[in-house]
Structure 1
Amino acid sequence: MLKDIQVAGQKDTRSGFGDGIYELGKKNPNVVALTADLAGSLKLNAFIKDFPDRFIQCGIAEANMIGIAAGLTIGGKIPFTTTFANFSTGRVYDQIRQSVAYSGKNVKICASHAGLTLGEDGATHQILEDIGMMKMLPGMTVIVPCDYNQTKAATIAIADHEGPVYLRFGRPVWPIFTKAGEKFEIGKAQYFSQGSDVAIFACGHMVWKAIEAGIILEEKGISTEVVNIHTIKPLDEEAVLTTLRKTKCAVTVEEHNIIGGLGDAIGQTAARHFPAPLEYVGTKDTFGESGKPLDLLKKYGLDTPDIVAAAEKAINRK
């Protein structure tokens, strides 16, 4: 039952990245961290202290950072670039496309402060298009973990994955509800409940909101399957279709524009293999604004009651 999921405190997912890359630094001498003047925000201080010869401060020169990272791979290094998600993608899209994706370089693009939950920094920093941008690049793996533990595990896992990766995480403290030390499997969906009436596919911070919604739905007698799609690409199509064939309707939930993100990935899969009623919870072709993270989720329709309402609407469309 979803109500039985244990919460082990709260911590920001960016700290999961910082602790993960520090663990990598201890066991893999080829791991190199690069940042664009945001070492503190990306929680790199422990890595810098113990591995100063494997840290490159690029300054406010994100495009140059991507170029340096691509070059480092030629010598067998595994570069992890770090900055805010807006600067990790929008500011350097050309460099990522040409020097990393097209060239097939083993660069790990690690992006914090994504989505509305960035909060007070406002629309200029709250990128809501990055999943779509990265998903469309051939050969790019796109990962959006759900809590501190999973972000740490995903950070460690991508070092062993050959090829470019986009890893997206965030700023606010958030419930920790996955198990510490649990192995992260790229491209493998994670189930938090089994259900037959409706499915909720979610990623990132919104997985916890999906669990909260699932608890409410279960209390209403609605059997709900909550699935964490932490890997947007490659999508676990087998899991998605197995769930859809069982529930025959679903909701997708993401801290991202519904155009181009997780919802589009699920929708394309359903359209090709098993058309079913889908409802989309995410931002609706809009930019964000300055505000407190939870207030912004409410204003833009990404809160727990919005997911409940979307699930009930999907069920009624069956």
Structure 2
Amino acid sequence: MTATTPKRLTTSAMIASFADPGQRTASAPFGHALAALAESDDRIVGLTADLGKYTDMHVFAEAHPDRFFQMGMAEQLLLGAAAGMAEVGLVPFASTYSVFAARRAYDFLCLDIAEPNLNVNVVGGLPGLTTGYGPSHQATEDVAIFRGMPNLTIVDPCDAVDIEQAVPQLAAAEGPTYLRLLRGKVPTVLDEYDYSFRLGEAAVLRGGSDVVFVSSGLMTMRALQAAEELAKHRVDVAVVHAPTIKPFDAGTVLSEVDSDRLVVTLENHTVVGGLFETVASAVVSRGLGKRIVPIALPDAFLDAGALPTLHERYGLATGTIVAKVLDALG
């Protein structure tokens, strides 16, 4: 009998990918990273609220069925059960859509998990504009909702590299975390920039003398693409990737912001309460008096439709970023 290579599980195609055509991707990086971590740490458990296939938790469930818990369409129960597991020494990763974690189960996360500072890792799928399903599923304000919660660490990963490296660090971190999950076929970008994810730290991916981009999440990929396009216009752009929104690495970011260059923030989140306001607050607190140009989603309920169309309409596409920067430079 010959040995066969185990089948690598993929994810549902029901939810569109924001990856560009022909771009390198990794399938279900969160699910595979969590399953791999569980091989060496028997405290790891996975839970979901009827969304295993849609948050890549199905990969973990296949690998560790005895440590997987399907809680049904009950997000409050999901987080309450995860809190109880953490109380007895387990390290739960609880997945649902970001809209349900932020809007529907906030109080359970706040009082059952954050107040006692338990090691529960909430994994939120469809953050920002990563689905065309409309306001019921577009978590455009999740960071704004969660930033005010004490003890909660917030991570907005760019790509598969960030996700794969973040999972073990989130498990090891004290207290609760919230990961804005990129699921399905996730672009692989940061391995080209001598980059490693470090929880709580920002990283300068490239230097530039004219403009500084400060970005998080999938917008770091767009920032890098826009920097390449702007070089054709003889505009030299630095890119600072800030995957941890809270606690925020103000030291690294402000060391780049404190210059004569135009500062632009880029985020897959409403302009209210996210990265732009985080950076602006740090700038004002330091007394730098800098102008900051935000590239973010509007303070509005967004349309439903195809992701490329929506990214163009709401300013997240590379071309619209380039145009806005050129306009700001005058």
Give the C-alpha shift of residue 314 in structure 1.
Answer: 4.4
Give the C-alpha shift of residue 183 in structure 1.
Answer: 4.1
Find the counterpart in structure 2 of residue 3 from structure 1: none
Cα distance in 1 between the residues matched to 2:293 and 2:106: 30
The question of whether the paired residues in 2 share the 8 Å contact of 1:251 and 1:314 is answered with: no
Cα distance in 2 between the residues matched to 1:11 and 1:291: 25
Matches within 5 A, 1:95-134: 95-119=108-132, 121-134=133-146
Query: Does 2:119 correspond to 1:76?
Result: no
% same residue: 32
Find the counterpart in structure 2 of residue 272 from structure 1: 285
Cα distance in 1 between the residues matched to 2:215 and 2:115: 29
Other structure's SS at 2:281 match: helix
Find the counterpart in structure 2 of residue 222 from structure 1: 235
Find the counterpart in structure 1 of residue 19 from structure 2: none
CA deviation map 1:162-220 (0-9, x unaligned): 11100002346453112299642011112221012111111111111111111122221
The question of whether the paired residues in 2 share the 8 Å contact of 1:140 and 1:164 is answered with: yes
Query: Does 2:18 correspond to 1:9?
Result: no
The question of whether the paired residues in 1 share the 8 Å contact of 2:268 and 2:316 is answered with: yes
Find the counterpart in structure 2 of residue 302 from structure 1: 316
Cα distance in 2 between the residues matched to 1:48 and 1:171: 16
Cα distance in 2 between the residues matched to 1:112 and 1:165: 14
Query: Does 2:266 correspond to 1:243?
Result: no
* One-letter code aligned to 2:178: Y
The question of whether the paired residues in 2 share the 8 Å contact of 1:16 and 1:150 is answered with: no
CA deviation map 1:210-240 (0-9, x unaligned): 1111112222122211111111111111111
Structure 1 segments unaligned to the other structure (5+ residues): 1-6
Of 177, 180, 191 in structure 2, the residue corresponding to residue 168 of structure 1 is 180
Cα 1:18/1:123, change in 2 over 3 Å: same
Find the counterpart in structure 1 of residue 219 from structure 2: 206
The question of whether the paired residues in 2 share the 8 Å contact of 1:117 and 1:294 is answered with: no
TM-score (normalizing by structure 1): 0.91
The question of whether the paired residues in 2 share the 8 Å contact of 1:203 and 1:230 is answered with: yes
Find the counterpart in structure 2 of residue 50 from structure 1: 63
Cα distance in 2 between the residues matched to 1:246 and 1:270: 12
Further displaced range: 178-187 or 77-86: 178-187
The question of whether the paired residues in 1 share the 8 Å contact of 2:210 and 2:261 is answered with: yes
TM-score (normalizing by structure 2): 0.88
Matches within 5 A, 1:179-198: 179=191, 183-198=196-211
CA deviation map 1:228-278 (0-9, x unaligned): 111111111111111012344311111110100011101101111122111
Other structure's SS at 1:118 match: coil
The question of whether the paired residues in 1 share the 8 Å contact of 2:117 and 2:174 is answered with: no
Cα distance in 1 between the residues matched to 2:300 and 2:183: 21
Matches within 5 A, 1:129-140: 129-140=141-152
Cα 1:314/1:240, change in 2 over 3 Å: farther
Find the counterpart in structure 2 of residue 142 from structure 1: 154
* One-letter code aligned to 1:82: S
Other structure's SS at 1:149 match: helix
Give the C-alpha shift of residue 313 in structure 1.
Answer: 4.5
Structure 2 segments unaligned to the other structure (5+ residues): 1-21
Cα RMSD of the aligned pairs, angstroms, is 1.9
Cα distance in 2 between the residues matched to 1:231 and 1:47: 24
The question of whether the paired residues in 1 share the 8 Å contact of 2:56 and 2:184 is answered with: no
Cα 1:202/1:242, change in 2 over 3 Å: same
Cα distance in 1 between the residues matched to 2:207 and 2:116: 41
Cα distance in 2 between the residues matched to 1:215 and 1:167: 28
Cα distance in 2 between the residues matched to 1:93 and 1:201: 28
Further displaced range: 187-196 or 42-51: 42-51
Q: Size of the alignment, in residue pairs?
A: 307
